[in-house]
Amino acid sequence: MIHGMKPHGLTGRERTYLNNMTNHLTIKQKKAVVDFYTYYQTHEIPEDLTGIIKDNFGIDITSKYCDKIIKNPVIVAPGQITRTTSQVNLISKAGYGGFVLKSFVGEDQNGHCSMSEFRMKPEWIKTFYEPDDTKGERPIIHWKGRLDERDLNLYKPFAQYAHKIGMESGVCAIASILCHLPRGKEDWIEDEWIYTTSQLYELGYHTFEIDFCPYLKSNNIAKNKDMVLRWYKEAPKIMKKVSCEIKVFSKLLNPEWGDEFQIQMVEASIEGKADGVVVANRIYKEQYQSAHGGKELKEINLRTIKNIRKKGIKIPVSATGGIYTGKDVIEYIEAGAENTQLISYIMGRARTPFVKKGNKFKQVLFKLILDPEDGIIQEMLKIKNSLGISSVSEFSKIKQRKIVDRYTCC
């Protein structure tokens, strides 16, 4: 019997779940997954969900973000839901593996910010559904916007709070920044990178993402591929001058330059001493005049991650885009990612109601982990039964083929 739960009879819906699972799980496992899901629909999710899952199913869902162990492989991606204290509070209480703060545009010690045009509130944000998503189950947020509009003075108290709440709740807080990007043969304004990185490092941030993406296809600046590759080859090294403890993940740009260029950006990141890459945080569509994620981004990203691994590149990958089920999460892990990031499913309006009561952060995480049709527990049990692997990290490591020391920074 499942720890802490009373046995109960099965409803018709639960029986359907059980029947759908017959090919992969034992009857006992199927019943346990459904019981667990049903129980926690009406009970508060415990703080130690990861431990309880391990006790009940023999599945370890802890995962990694570079050198950090995280509770589970689901991270809230940077955007409009990771920019206030109340949001990071809710994320931490819900029990995500981590959160990445809305990208911040850096400045030097005198407050000079060469990229200040990117400090701007979004012009518009709307929910979009693909034509084949007739039930409106997979909202995609389309948005026209840039990065966090605050300067460092206003941003720092928020970043400090976010780091503290993350530490207290065992949820990994990750910063995302953009500072000066040189054009042509221009020199770097290193002061912006170093000052911003050091200010956040002093608040406790050791893990950073670099958001190269404001220059998407809508902007002619990113059309020069050599210049883009130079950013990847040099920016992480500059940030690491602050401390060898700093880990940097470069986010791949996702313009329509084809699969080979995605690999070139990864190789440039390695040359730049990046510790990992984020694959890849947005696509830009002329027809919508908007950046977005969703299923289309997921398909491109899965292909990129598989191509990275096929080439024998062992760099850690954080995968983002198009996550609506635990199965989506495990697909990314299977392709060779360490963890996954999502925003649209939390921010958008899914037309199918969530069964779990509470705020959206809780509802989404509950569904991704516990859903008996396609949640992480159910997907991991299939892997355990077929491959004998019962840990998400282990599964990821096997798929990545051992990450070698050369990706550590010092």
Ligand X SMILES: Cc1cc2nc3c(=O)[nH]c(=O)nc-3n(C[C@H](O)[C@H](O)[C@H](O)COP(=O)(O)O)c2cc1C
Per the CB < 8 A criterion, the answer to whether 146 and 83 are in contact is no
The residue behind tokens 């920074």 is 409
If one asks whether residue 77 binds ligand X (CB under 6 A), the answer comes out as yes
How far apart are alpha carbons 327 and 374 in whole angstroms?
5
| Dihedral angle of Cα 354, 358, 364, 368, to the nearest 10 degrees | -90
Nearest to 300 by CA among 319, 315, 317: 319
Binders of ligand X among 179-218, rule CB under 6 A? 211
Among 38, 92, 169, 176, binds ligand X (CB under 6 A): 176
How far apart are alpha carbons 347 and 89 in whole angstroms?
16
Among 197, 262, 344, 363, binds ligand X (CB under 6 A): 344
DSSP assignment letter at 119: B
SS (H, E, C) 184-248: CCCCCCHHHHHHHHHHHHHCCCCEEEECCCCCCCCCHHHHCHHHHHHHHHHHHHHHHCCCCCCEE
Nearer to ligand X, 18 or 120 (CB): 120
If one asks whether residue 143 binds ligand X (CB under 6 A), the answer comes out as yes
If one asks whether residue 147 binds ligand X (CB under 6 A), the answer comes out as yes
Q: How far is the CB of 284 from ligand X (least distance, A)?
A: 11
Nearer to ligand X, 304 or 391 (CB): 304
If one asks whether residue 341 binds ligand X (CB under 6 A), the answer comes out as yes
Structure tokens at 334: 């299977």
If one asks whether residue 229 binds ligand X (CB under 6 A), the answer comes out as no
Among 342, 365, 370, 389, binds ligand X (CB under 6 A): 342
Q: How far is the CB of 283 from ligand X (least distance, A)?
A: 9
If one asks whether residue 305 binds ligand X (CB under 6 A), the answer comes out as no
Residue 53 corresponds to which amino acid?
I
Burial string for 17-48 (b: 16+ CB within 10 Å, else e) reads bbeebeeebeeebbbbbbbbbbebeeeebeee
Q: How far is the CB of 127 from ligand X (least distance, A)?
A: 10
Among 21, 61, 88, 141, binds ligand X (CB under 6 A): 141
Nearer to ligand X, 80 or 85 (CB): 80
Binding mask 318-337 for ligand X (x = CB under 6 A): --xxxx--------------
Residue nearest to ligand X (CB): 293
Phi, psi of 178 (to 5 degrees): -140, 130
Which of 26-34, 73-81, 195-203, 362-370 is the region at the interface with ligand X (rule: CB under 6 A)?
73-81
SS3 content of the chain, % helix, strand, coil (to 5): 45, 15, 40
Binders of ligand X among 235-264, rule CB under 6 A? 251
Q: How far is the CB of 87 from ligand X (least distance, A)?
A: 12
If one asks whether residue 317 binds ligand X (CB under 6 A), the answer comes out as no
Nearer to ligand X, 368 or 381 (CB): 368
Binding mask 98-127 for ligand X (x = CB under 6 A): ----xx---------------------x--
Which of 26-34, 224-232, 317-325, 395-403 is the region at the interface with ligand X (rule: CB under 6 A)?
317-325
Which of 85-93, 138-146, 200-208, 380-388 is the region at the interface with ligand X (rule: CB under 6 A)?
138-146
Strands 140-144 and 124-128: antiparallel
Bridge partners of 209, per DSSP, are 176, 249
The DSSP element (H or E) to which 299 belongs, if any, is helix 295-310
Residues at the contact surface with ligand X, assessed by CB under 6 A: 77-80, 102-103, 125, 141, 143, 145, 147, 176, 211, 251, 281-282, 293-294, 297, 320-323, 341-345
